[in-house]
Amino acid sequence: MHLGVSESMRECEYSQISTRSSTPMETPYKKKTSKKRKWEIFPGRNKFYCGGRIMMAKQTGVFYLTLVLILVTCGLFFTFDCPFLALQLTPVIPVIGGVLFLFVLGTLLRTSFSDPGVLPRATPDEAADLERQIDVANGSTGYRPPPRTKEVVINGQTVKLKYCFTCKIFRPPRASHCSLCDNCVDRFDHHCPWVGNCVGKRNYRFFYMFILSLSFLTIFIFAFVITHIILRSHRNGFLNALKDSPASVLEVVVCFFSVWSIVGLSGFHTYLISSNQTTNEDIKGSWSSKRGKDNYNPYSHGNIFTNCCAALCGPLPPSLIDRRGFVQSDTPQLAPPTNGITMYGATQSQQSHMFSMESKPIVSDTETESVTKTSAFRAPNSFCRLPPHPSSSSRAASQ
């Protein structure tokens, strides 16, 4: 009988013990959230491809037109003209044309796919601190807003720094805000729809090499297509030559109407490089003598050769935006446990805190994203810091 009582007690013990207790002790686990890269929350109007490695403007239709014109014209030239010219004249012609074509294509893609020199926007804390500095410097306590300009002296010339109300920063000298891309760009030259990007400090040299090499390529194709037609005309007549190579007519038309604008643009930017100016400064007449007798360009080195070397051969500045960096949070949250499962290995205070989180409202992704877009997209080694909860600030004020 004693044996029967012990067996009944064992059955009672087995029924009270959960089968999950035999498993190893579980530890609190973090809520798995997919990390976002900073290009995904970039505040400007840009398009990103290949995980943020390629950065372009939002309007890229004209860029694709430029690419198609170059590829089609060169393709027709290598297919219909180069075989005849290589046999009749020299095989060097297709080699030179191929080198020019690859150089034009490389500089075009380098200009279109790179960061032109975008300046990062101020975080909310930096913007608030800058507002306080402006108020203290101007002593404005009334209703009139303080002036939004600063003056700096560069090589004896006074230059005004303008405040950008979108980026909440004082723009550096020669920087300007592009209305199409909605970014402040360092040494802003212009927004070029033909390359689908802004032209600034980090891609201006590649833009200049693109239009200069494209000028040589257009003249090269135009000259040798005419040579091809003339050589065929001596054999079979002019009309028969056009019938034998109809693609040459299309190449002549495209090159004839594009060579003037391309060569003219190359000459204009050669003048800008030799005087160390930008298109934006030349259009506004920033360093024109009409503004004053003492007005001069403080960025010119006084020598054409030195200006060209500074613009084309100087060190390439690094990008100030970390578009492939991760947006990180300082305070990782613990996920609430599943109903009916005890979190072993946690203290009583931690368990009560985790269970109390179920009754608290959760901040939506849209609210977090609105804060992150203005504060997270900074230079490398920066983090996204969420502002303190309103209830905590009011509680601290009351204390």
- Position 237 scores a pLDDT of 80
Active site residue 184: no
**Which parts of the chain sit beneath pLDDT 50?**
1-3, 5-6, 8-25, 27, 331-376, 379-399
Q: Which two tokens stand for residue 230?
A: 């003339």
Catalytic residue among 74, 181, 184, 192: 192
Report the alpha-carbon distance of residue 45 to residue 243 in Å, rounded: 49
Question: 20: burial class by Cβ within 10 Å (0-12, 13-18, 19+)?
Answer: exposed
- 3-state secondary structure string across the chain: CHHHHHHHHHHHHHHHCCHHHHCCCCCCCECCCCCCEHHHHCCCCEEEECCCCEEEECCCHHHHHHHHHHHHHHHHHHHHHHHHHHHHCCCHHHHHHHHHHHHHHHHHHHHHCCCCCECCCCCHHHHHHHHHHHHHHHCCCCCCCCCCEEEEEECCEEEEEEEECCCCEECCCCCEEECCCCEEECCCCEEECCCCEEECCCCHHHHHHHHHHHHHHHHHHHHHHHHHHHHHHHHHCHHHHHHHCHHHHHHHHHHHHHHHHHHHHHHHHHHHHHHCCCHHHHHHCCCCHHHCCCCCCCCCCCCHHHHHHHHHCCCCCCCCCCCCCECCECCCCECCCCCCCCCCCCCHHHHHHHHHHHHCCCCCHHHHHHHHHHHCCCCCCCCECCCCCHHHHHHHHHC
Domain assignments of the chain as residue spans, ordered by start: 46-119+192-313
Under 8 Å between Cβ of 210 and 216? no
The tens digit of pLDDT for each residue in 313-322 reads: 988 999 999 8
The tens digit of pLDDT for each residue in 247-263 reads: 888 999 999 999 999 99
